[in-house]
């Protein structure tokens, strides 16, 4: 499989190069040159497979020609063996036609483990084959950092440095990063905000000499391999609840648009999907887009669902490319416009294609707590604030009652104990694998918000 950039001016690459590159050289994101197709008979056969076997089947066309092509079944087995639920991604029925797809049984209790557990292994394989080493650098406000660290811990040929804002993550989130005992994992508590952390990371990547010397790489959500791994659970849930005979609807709490875009990919590959309902918190750039056709940046406000406190949904660019009939020049113009004026408008024909398939809903913190209470009262389930936003989106449109609605549960409630307690009065205990997290030793370095200090630290370890 070859990959093309959404902005049309970068060289096409094979899977291994796309994995290591992340962003395309023209600033665009990579998408596959063609969408692999699964027939109705394929989908029927998928229903009998366990999660890791299905993952290998779904991803096989995307890695054709890669050094990992033949290794994929072994790698998916290894990646999903660390999940604590035997189903990996269990479906739980909430009401007559409403289901929760639990994506939080991985090592860090959030859905990002589905992609990152595999991506860590893919990096290792490709680097081994190429006899290369990389240094992964990232900034986190919480979830992404721990998922990336868990994915890269102990892997040959990878050093990982994660910056978090000192004192500004939850204690569970910080300990999930800092109690990992592996010599290639380096936590930096920066004296500053998340934006300061991100600025330092950007500056490291912008320094071409430093970037080249340490072979810097990122595992952020614009990496195609992360999207690819997430396609699997849409197909997994779809075939369990009726595909290929019946359609399903997905509701997805959304930040960077990576998760829900993976659902769109599953649909392009043959899964019958009626609709995608996109949930946002008060940071509602996507909801406003669906309502108006204009994507316009506003400031970020903190909310109960911090992993969706975003200013820009980077992966939306991939959808724009698809609905613009893969016109890279058109996407490029929109992104230039966005950079200049913090706003762009999608052409009416393309916007109509998007709204025919996607609907957006926003929910503020009060509403989020109310959904958490309602779900608790009607089903006995505790859900985290992100999941609550998704459930709200699932309930927001009058759809054909014969079509199952699947809300994605993106984090375990124990990851957000304060919000869960405030909403329901109940505490959600940490699962057994993490119960001792408050007793483990933490390892991190506190650094000033100073680019050179961060560079010195990286230099001293690599
Ligand atoms: C990252 C994250 C999201 C947002 O996912 P995107 O792919 O950025 O849309 C939602 N919920 C949780 C718990 C997350 O960690």
CATH of the domain at 297: 3.40.50.1100
Q: 92-107, pLDDT tens digit by residue?
A: 999 999 999 999 999 9
In a domain, 436, yes or no: no
| Candidate from 118-122, 189-193, 425-429, 432-436 with smallest mean pLDDT | 432-436
In a domain, 313, yes or no: yes
Asked whether the predicted pLDDT for residue 141 surpasses 90, the reply is no
308: CA distance to ligand 1 center in Å? 6
Bridging pattern class, strands 91-95 and 358-362: unpaired
In a domain, 273, yes or no: yes
In a domain, 196, yes or no: no
Per-residue pLDDT, averaged over 146-155, amounts to: 95
- Cβ atoms < 10 Å from Cβ of 415: 27
Structural domain including 363 reads: 91-107+224-424
Q: Tally the domains of the chain.
A: 1
Half-sphere exposure of 445 (CA within 13 A, CB side): 16
Q: Which three-class secondary structure state does DSSP give residue 191?
A: strand
In a domain, 259, yes or no: yes
Q: 360-410, pLDDT tens digit by residue?
A: 999 999 999 999 999 999 999 999 999 999 999 999 988 788 999 999 999
Q: 280 in ligand 1 pocket by Cβ < 6 Å?
A: no
Query: 57 catalytic, yes or no?
Result: no
- Predicted confidence at residue 23, as pLDDT, reads 86
Q: 235-286, pLDDT tens digit by residue?
A: 999 999 989 999 999 999 999 999 999 999 999 999 999 999 999 999 999 9
Asked whether the predicted pLDDT for residue 206 surpasses 90, the reply is no
Contacts of 153 (CB under 8 A, 6+ apart): 160, 180, 182, 184, 185
213: CA distance to ligand 1 center in Å? 32
Q: 179 in ligand 1 pocket by Cβ < 6 Å?
A: no
**Are the C-beta atoms of residues 176 and 244 closer than 8 Å to each other?**
no
In a domain, 81, yes or no: no
CA distances (Å), origin 76, targets 68, 118, 304: 11, 7, 33
Mean pLDDT (the chain, rounded):
95
Tell me the pLDDT band of 205, cut-offs 50, 70 and 90: confident
User: Could you tell me which residue, 203 or 143, shows the higher pLDDT?
Assistant: 203
From the CA of 253, give the closest atom in ligand 1. 10
In a domain, 266, yes or no: yes
Asked whether the predicted pLDDT for residue 142 surpasses 80, the reply is no
Q: 255 in ligand 1 pocket by Cβ < 6 Å?
A: yes
In a domain, 153, yes or no: no
- Predicted confidence at residue 21, as pLDDT, reads 86
Tell me the pLDDT band of 442, cut-offs 50, 70 and 90: very high
């Amino acid at each position: 499989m070859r990959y093309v950039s959404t902005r049309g001016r970068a060289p096409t690459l094979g899977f291994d190069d796309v994995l290591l590159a992340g962003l395309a050289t023209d600033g665009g994101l990579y998408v596959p040159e063609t969408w692999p197709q699964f027939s109705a008979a394929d989908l029927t056969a998928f229903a009998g497979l366990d999660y890791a076997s299905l993952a290998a089947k779904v991803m096989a066309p995307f890695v054709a020609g890669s050094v990992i092509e033949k290794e994929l079944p072994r790698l998916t087995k290894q990646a999903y063996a660390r999940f604590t639920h035997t189903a990996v991604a269990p479906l739980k029925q909430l009401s007559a036609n409403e289901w929760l797809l639990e994506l939080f049984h991985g090592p860090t209790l959030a859905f990002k483990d589905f992609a990152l557990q595999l991506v860590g292994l893919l990096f290792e394989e490709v680097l081994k084959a190429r006899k290369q080493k990389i240094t992964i650098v990232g900034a986190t406000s919480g979830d992404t950092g721990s998922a990336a660290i868990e994915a890269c811990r102990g892997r040959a040929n990878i050093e990982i440095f994660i910056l978090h804002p000192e004192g500004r993550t939850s204690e569970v989130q910080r300990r999930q990063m800092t109690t990992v005992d592996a010599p290639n994992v380096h936590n930096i508590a920066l004296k500053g905000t998340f934006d300061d952390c991100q600025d330092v990371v950007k500056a490291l990547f912008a320094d071409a000499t430093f970037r080249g010397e340490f072979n810097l790489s990122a595992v952020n959500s614009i990496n195609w391999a992360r999207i690819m791994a997430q396609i699997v659970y849409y197909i997994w849930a779809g075939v369990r609840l009726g595909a290929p005979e019946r359609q399903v609807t997905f509701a997805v709490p959304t930040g960077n648009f990576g998760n829900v875009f993976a659902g769109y990919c599953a649909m392009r590959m043959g899964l019958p999907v009626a609709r995608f309902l996109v949930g946002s918190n008060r940071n509602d750039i996507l909801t406003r887009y669906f309502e108006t056709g204009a994507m316009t940046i506003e400031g970020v406000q903190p909310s109960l669902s911090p992993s969706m406190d975003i200013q820009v949904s980077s992966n939306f660019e991939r959808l724009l490319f698809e609905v613009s009939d893969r016109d890279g020049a058109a996407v490029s113009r929109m992104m230039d416009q966005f950079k200049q004026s913090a706003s762009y408008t999608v052409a009416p024909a393309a916007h109509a294609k998007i709204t025919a398939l996607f609907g957006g809903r926003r929910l503020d913190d009060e509403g989020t707590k109310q959904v958490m209470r309602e779900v608790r009262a009607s089903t006995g389930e505790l859900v985290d604030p992100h999941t609550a936003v998704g459930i709200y989106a699932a309930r927001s449109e009058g759809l054909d009652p014969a079509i199952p609605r699947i809300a994605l549960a993106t984090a375990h409630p124990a990851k957000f104990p304060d919000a869960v307690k405030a909403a329901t009065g109940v505490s959600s205990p940490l699962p057994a694998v993490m119960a001792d997290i408050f007793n483990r030793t933490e390892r991190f370095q506190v650094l000033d918000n100073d680019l050179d200090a961060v560079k010195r630290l990286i230099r001293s370890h690599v």
